[in-house]
Amino acid sequence: MSRDHVHPAERSAAPAGAPLSSAETPFLELLARGASADAYEQPVLLARAEGRSTERIVALEQAKLLALRVRSELEGRRRREAELSALFETAHDLAGLRDLDAVLQAIVQRARSLLGTDVAYLSLNDPARGDTYMRVTEGSVAARFQQLRLGMGEGLGGLVAQTARPYVTDDYFKDDRFQHTLTIDSGVRDEGLVAILGVPLMLGHHVIGVLFAADRRARVFEREQIALLGSFAALAAAAIDTANLLTETRSALADLERANEIIQDRSGVIERASDVHDRLAELVLRGGGVHDVAAAVSEVLDGTVEFAEATAAPAGALEISRVEGHAVRHDADWIAAVAAGGELLGALVLRGHPGLDPVDQRTLERAAMVTSLLLLARRSAAEAEQRVRGELLDDLLDARDRDPRLLRERAARLGADLDATHVVLAARLDATSADADQEAAARRRLWSAASHLAATRHGLAAARDGGTVLLLPLAAGDTATTLARSTARHLGTAVHEAVTVGASAPVAALAAQPDAVAAAYEEGRRCLDALRLLGRSGDGAAAEDFGFVGLLLAGDRDITGFVDRTIGQVVAYDERRGTDLLRTVDAYFASGMSPARTKDELHVHVNTVAQRLERVGRLLGDDWQSPARALEIQLALRLHRLTAPGQR
């Protein structure tokens, strides 16, 4: 189509010489001014109304789809930037904490804004009265709801406090997982709440309260929203802990004022505590790392502080520190656990400093808490990068990206090593539900459990074909069978339903040959189907577990492996001793398992045949002549002849 036939509105934004097609120009203008999604239909509708050619309309449709994809990506980036900005702003408030109520109010306000809920609120436990109470609300309009005091263990918040895990309900009054009471239900009804999400506020391993986000209509909270509210809950708990620490510090200062001699003795310690507080606050604000924290605390404590992985720190001292929430002494060192939400992330180790006063000990503990926040922030960034770059396992299964270097780099960012030997596992729930929503929820639980397992095992996971596929590294001394069974048990326990798992044979060099992943997945699926047909639902197995039937299941037909498993000991014995046991067994089966006819075939004495068969029994087991074993052995003998004809 000539330029004279291009609509003026479509040409206006394109400068002279710009390499843009006329179909793209109106959509670039829409992107530039941030138009709504509906506006992207206008150029297409206008072209149709003007009777433009089919080619022109098709080009506009393609440009529209591309522009909408760009718009969606930009919106996702803006949303993630807003979330990170809110977290850093809250961390800034925490670093300069002066008014605890103001910080908690800011956390609740930002949580409500980012999650787009009608109401957000925070409750705290009252150990003195043995109940819990509303501390901060945002968006609430009901006085009775704002003044609620609840018994421990009641309502959705009680369930969160008991399990120390997030809980979400799409419809509060229809959910019977938690204890309903007249007081709670009346307050919730006054507020008009329907969908509620609650996450725990943790100090060490203790739940001190719950942070909520709620809507006055039915709503499904996404995994990213639950994680975001959990991040705000961690900051709220840190703010409360910091306020308590400041209260303790003020109390200590008041006591020190009453004794001038104590003030003089402790002045240097307090200066160091103030110094480390300022340094850690600065580190958080400028995005420092864990080693920066260790270096700052080393200067303040006049010692050597190092960050150690959980596996490299003394296990006993590390566990005590995690449970008690305090730094503990280990020989001449001090160990402070770096943990978050019950997960052990590592430790700060103060070397060669056996004498440590309480304020310096608290400084080390505070540094460990800041380190945990930095590690969590790093993890969130890594997860965001993973979502932006796409699912590596889907690419491997579909064999779209064949560049080994890029595959290795993407895997390394996810903590996986494609050069290691892996097993592809197909997992599926056995129970089915007539309710489509329940079925979808069950699949989401399976996907969540599989993703967690893959992350802890340095593997990959993806939802596929109504189930889940996992790519897990094969540990030394492990087999595809044991990995399949342990995975079935782990996933079944996590989702509280039977999960059947079929495994492929081990595969290697995945980066160099990505097609191997798709082939291994098909093998795992065939094994999964075989398990279900055989009535072994809820179990795990690999193709090798089915004997020669496994040859039909295996995608690569591992004939050598089957022969070795079945008659390998006899072959090896003949090679070592120069005997003829394999030929004797072959002749024995060919003679209808008759020793008399076998000795005629081999031209040896019948006693020789008997002695050889006795030796075979010791090598293969007493049941080697049973019908099932005999069938596999005869198949292995034939395959051995076909694969190694020169040995006959």
Separation between Cα atoms, residue 1 and residue 18, nearest integer Å: 18
- Is 268 within a domain? no
Copy the structure tokens of residue 19: 């390499």
- Is 89 within a domain? no
In this prediction, residue 296 carries a pLDDT of: 77
**Domain co-membership, 519 together with 614:** no
Q: Which residues of 330-347 are buried (b: 16+ CB within 10 A; e: fewer)?
A: beebbbbbbbbbeebbbb
H-assigned helices in 286-345: 290-301, 315-324
Residue 191 C-beta-side C-alpha neighbours within 13 Å: 30
**Domain co-membership, 468 together with 505:** yes
Sheet holding 304-308, edge to edge: 304-308, 343-351, 333-340, 328-330
Highest mean pLDDT among 356-360, 462-466, 519-523, 593-597: 593-597
**Domain co-membership, 407 together with 526:** yes
80 or 469, which is more confident: 469
In this prediction, residue 648 carries a pLDDT of: 39
In this prediction, residue 16 carries a pLDDT of: 40
CB neighbours (10 Å) of residue 279? 20
Q: Which of 340, 290, 298, 333 is nearest to 314 (CA)?
A: 333
- The parent domain of residue 318 ranges over 287-381
- Is 71 within a domain? no
Condensed to tens digits (0 to 9), the pLDDT of residues 126-169 reads 888 888 899 999 999 999 999 988 887 888 888 888 888 999 99
In this prediction, residue 266 carries a pLDDT of: 59
What are the Cα distances from residue 272, in Å, to 191, 201, 282? 48, 29, 15
CATH number at residue 201: 3.30.450.40
- Is 36 within a domain? no
**Domain co-membership, 177 together with 212:** yes
In this prediction, residue 274 carries a pLDDT of: 65
Task: Answer whether residue 520 shows pLDDT above 60.
Answer: yes
**Domain co-membership, 433 together with 542:** yes
User: Mean per-residue pLDDT for 245-249?
Assistant: 76
User: Mean per-residue pLDDT for 68-75?
Assistant: 75
User: Mean per-residue pLDDT for 320-347?
Assistant: 82
**Domain co-membership, 447 together with 531:** yes
Task: Answer whether residue 190 shows pLDDT above 90.
Answer: yes
User: Mean per-residue pLDDT for 216-236?
Assistant: 87
User: Mean per-residue pLDDT for 88-103?
Assistant: 68
Task: Answer whether residue 389 shows pLDDT above 50.
Answer: no
Condensed to tens digits (0 to 9), the pLDDT of residues 274-295 reads 666 677 767 666 667 777 777 7
CATH number at residue 576: 1.10.10.2840
Separation between Cα atoms, residue 404 and residue 441, nearest integer Å: 36
- Is 52 within a domain? no
User: Mean per-residue pLDDT for 483-494?
Assistant: 91
Separation between Cα atoms, residue 27 and residue 40, nearest integer Å: 7
Residue 296 C-beta-side C-alpha neighbours within 13 Å: 26
Task: Answer whether residue 121 shows pLDDT above 90.
Answer: yes
Condensed to tens digits (0 to 9), the pLDDT of residues 575-584 reads 898 898 989 9
Q: Are 166 and 141 in contact (CB under 8 A)?
A: no
In this prediction, residue 240 carries a pLDDT of: 81
**Domain co-membership, 503 together with 569:** no
Separation between Cα atoms, residue 90 and residue 373, nearest integer Å: 12
**Domain co-membership, 530 together with 573:** no
**Domain co-membership, 575 together with 519:** no
CATH number at residue 462: 3.30.70.270
Task: Answer whether residue 338 shows pLDDT above 90.
Answer: no
In this prediction, residue 292 carries a pLDDT of: 79
**Domain co-membership, 466 together with 593:** no
Copy the structure tokens of residue 123: 């409750």
Task: Answer whether residue 172 shows pLDDT above 60.
Answer: yes
User: Mean per-residue pLDDT for 603-614?
Assistant: 90
Task: Answer whether residue 45 shows pLDDT above 70.
Answer: yes
Find the length of the chain: 648
**Domain co-membership, 471 together with 568:** no
What are the Cα distances from residue 238, in Å, to 121, 234, 464? 17, 6, 40
In this prediction, residue 381 carries a pLDDT of: 55
CB neighbours (10 Å) of residue 181? 14
Cα dihedral: 106, 110, 116, 121 (round 10): -40
Separation between Cα atoms, residue 164 and residue 207, nearest integer Å: 6
Copy the structure tokens of residue 102: 């103001």
In this prediction, residue 534 carries a pLDDT of: 67
261 or 54, which is more confident: 54
Residue 432, Cβ density class (10 Å: 0-12 exposed, 13-18 middle, ≥19 buried): exposed
Task: Answer whether residue 7 shows pLDDT above 60.
Answer: no
Task: Answer whether residue 10 shows pLDDT above 50.
Answer: no
**Domain co-membership, 568 together with 542:** no
Separation between Cα atoms, residue 279 and residue 276, nearest integer Å: 5
Q: Are 538 and 512 in contact (CB under 8 A)?
A: no
In this prediction, residue 199 carries a pLDDT of: 92
Average pLDDT, the chain: 80
What percent of the chain is modeled with pLDDT above 90? 15
In this prediction, residue 50 carries a pLDDT of: 83
**Where a domain ends, among 346, 381, 416?**
381
Copy the structure tokens of residue 16: 């002279």
550 or 435, which is more confident: 435
Separation between Cα atoms, residue 333 and residue 354, nearest integer Å: 6
User: Mean per-residue pLDDT for 207-224?
Assistant: 91
Instruction: Please give the tally of structural domains in the chain.
Output: 4
Residue 341 pLDDT level (bands cut at 50, 70, 90): low
Cα dihedral: 37, 38, 41, 43 (round 10): -80
Among the ranges given (216-220, 366-370, 422-426, 609-613), the one the predictor scored with the smallest mean pLDDT: 366-370
